[in-house]
Amino acid sequence: MHPMIDRLRSRTAAFVHDLLTIPLAWLLAYWLRFNLDAIPAEFMASWQQSLPWVVLVQGSVYWLFGLYRGVWRFASLPDLVRMTKAVTAGTLLVVVILFIVNRSELVPRSVPVIYLGVQLLMLAAPRILYRWMKDHRLNLSSGQRVLIVGAGRAGDLLARDMLRGSQRAYFPVGFVDDKLRRQGGEVQGLPVFGGTDAIAEIVVREDVDLLMLAVPGATAREMRRLVELCEQTGRPFRILPELRSLMDGQINISQLRPVSIEDLLGREPIELDWPEINAGLAGRQILVTGAGGSIGSELVRQIAGAGPARLILLESCEFNLYRIEMELLESHPDLSVSRHLTDVTDAAAIAALFHAERPAIVFHAAAYKHVPLLENQLRAAVRNNVIGTRIVAQAAAAAPGCERFVLISTDKAVNPTNIMGATKRLAEAICQDLDGRSHCRFITVRFGNVLGSAGSVVPLFRRQIERGGPVTVTHPEIERFFMTIPEACQLIMQAAVIGDGGEIFVLDMGEPIKIRYLAEQMIRLSGQEPGEDILIEYVGLRPGEKLYEELFYASEELVATGHPKIRVARQGTGLSAAELLAGLEALQGYVDAFDETRMLSRLQALLPGWRRPSRVAPSEAHAAVENPSA
């Protein structure tokens, strides 16, 4: 049937229903007036004489008040308010008309008042009942029985969407929530059974098929606890992740997705001072080295949104540079972008770039970072992480218009036990030394592992799980700090604009996570059981690898900043400028001469606390890349 005809038919049926209620309500008003006894004959005659006027006036008022613009299926409080106004106005008008026609002869004064209440009840009750029947119809066998975890606004919107669904693929049986004030109550007419500790018992008692986590504001610790409780039930579960959709009331079934490892390792949303960040980056010439890497490319995306005058991309990998440039052309077509296929160790190219582009701010993200691989790639690590940092930093110090240089460092630079950490610690020392001798402010930002970065453990575990295992972990007790790439980059930008120069900013990484737990949860989230469907193998610590990472030295003084997620570590390099310069010049000579033995000795001399790592054969290094701990 044509939608217009169907709509007209629905409105006509509703109007006819309301017209039929008018004489019934008018009769009931008389009957109630006489205490449900027989209505005297003269008053029955009065009812019959006045009825045509009541139906005509009241029906006209109903139509004029737009009672038929709404749909019974979605009857709501505004509809009830509209009905109240229509019944009240109609009743008053009826009283006036009857007084004009026959001075309201034999119409008891209480009848219009009683009629008003009865008529309002007869209009509202069928609409509410119709909606309730539609929302709670009894053919529950057609959909999965769902227990919603979280009876807050997200759970309320999710239940409402399920109850309105025409396909009835899901039927909510109730909620669990840890807030005591909600327990024992109802949401959308569904019971809040109790706290989350009772999930397993409720799932069995209510014959639940599926659990839905409607807790978008949960912290990682809370989410891990909820996931463990859901896993114990043996039932599938889904998560509603978008906190922003709460603002618009747009939560629906389509937003549900499987729980990801990022949900378990992430933390509460970071509150950034975006006006300060935008003010520090907008309208500036900004250079990002390593612009196509995991951190560099996300930095580019975030900075592009801040409105820089020009974004300068430096990358040594042709494909990565092409990919991030194409992305920027699509997402920010009006942004001025220049790209340079250049190695940070090419001093002539770097000098020419600074002369031509004149960047005001430099984010130095270019670095080799794979711990096991670099253990037998000493020259490459020193050349890129140390010499490359020095070349770019010196170019920034010499450029008259360069105001800030931000080095992206790592927790592995703290008490380093591997080549990567040692070279990054020396890169920190270079920036600290230059800060005192240049107009450019040199700032270091230090953080741990980022989820999903190239070569990190999460993509590796995913590949191993897809192949059916085993999942390889180096040690049962090994643990690492984690944060998401966007979170890390946002904090890098925040540190860049609040730094005065010479600081080492330490990002709050939350609590360290055991890699074993990470592996177990990723296996479970794939729908399999660790140790049964997919094995976990412990392959031993790799050369240069530590059980626990640190974000700062014990001797470093930690100072709070204006941002709760950022602290400042203040410590000298322990080297004089002359010692550092002599050491770096020596390293440059050993790199040119390909003398790794002296290179290692000089690196040891520059970092007295560094323990000399064991050498590994190329085959072992390759295996380590396939099985990194982080």
How far the first Cα of the chain sits from its last, in Å, is: 61
Q: Is 179 a known active-site residue? A: no
Q: Distance between CA 213 and CA 193 in Å, rounded?
A: 15
Q: Distance between CA 608 and CA 544 in Å, rounded?
A: 16
CA dihedral 574, 580, 582, 586 (to 10 degrees): 110
Beta strands at 536-538 and 210-213: parallel, antiparallel or unpaired:
unpaired
Residues 451-455: contacts with CB under 8 Å, at least 24 apart = 451/261, 451/262, 451/265, 451/266, 451/482, 451/483, 451/484, 451/485, 452/262, 452/294, 452/484, 452/485, 453/294, 453/295, 453/485, 454/293, 454/294, 455/369, 455/370, 455/625, 455/628
Whole-number pLDDT of residue 354: 95
DSSP of 430-485: HHHHHHTTSSSEEEEEEE-EEET-TT-HHHHHHHHHHTT-PEEES-TT-EE-EEEH
The Cβ-side half-sphere exposure at 349, using a 13 Å CA radius, reads 13
Distances (CA, A) of 418 to 121, 609, 618: 79, 12, 16
Whole-number pLDDT of residue 73: 47
Predicted confidence (pLDDT) per residue in 55-88, tens digit: 888 778 877 776 665 545 445 666 777 788 888 8
The H-or-E segment that residue 337 falls in is strand 337-341
Collapsing DSSP to helix, strand or coil, 373 comes out as: helix
The residue with tokens 């709070």 is 560
Whole-number pLDDT of residue 560: 60
Spell out, as residue ranges, where the chain has pLDDT lower than 70. 1-11, 66-78, 106, 131-143, 165-168, 241-272, 449-456, 481, 509-510, 527, 542-546, 548-564, 570-575, 611-630
596 CB neighbour count, 10 Å cutoff: 16
The H-or-E segment that residue 312 falls in is strand 310-315
For residue 503, what are the contacts with CB-CB under 8 A and spacing of at least 6? 443, 444, 568, 569, 570
CATH architecture of 274-626: 3-Layer(aba) Sandwich (3.40)
Q: Distance between CA 71 and CA 198 in Å, rounded?
A: 39
Q: Distance between CA 526 and CA 522 in Å, rounded?
A: 6
> Annotated catalytic residue: which of 369, 412, 424, 565?
412
Whole-number pLDDT of residue 548: 61
* Equal CATH topology for 140-259 and 274-626: yes
What is the domain class of 140-259 according to CATH? alpha beta
Largest CA distance in the chain: 122
Burial of 612 (0-12, 13-18, 19+ CB in 10 A): exposed
The H-or-E segment that residue 609 falls in is none
Q: Would you state the structure tokens that stand for residue 38, as one six-digit string?
A: 């027989």
What are the residue boundaries of the structural domains of the chain, listed by start? 3-135, 140-259, 274-626
Instruction: Name the pTM for this structure.
Output: 0.61
The residue with tokens 């790209």 is 339
For residue 368, what are the contacts with CB-CB under 8 A and spacing of at least 6? 374, 377, 380, 381, 384, 385, 420, 423
Q: Distance between CA 304 and CA 321 in Å, rounded?
A: 15
The H-or-E segment that residue 404 falls in is strand 404-410
Predicted confidence (pLDDT) per residue in 178-193, tens digit: 888 888 888 888 888 8
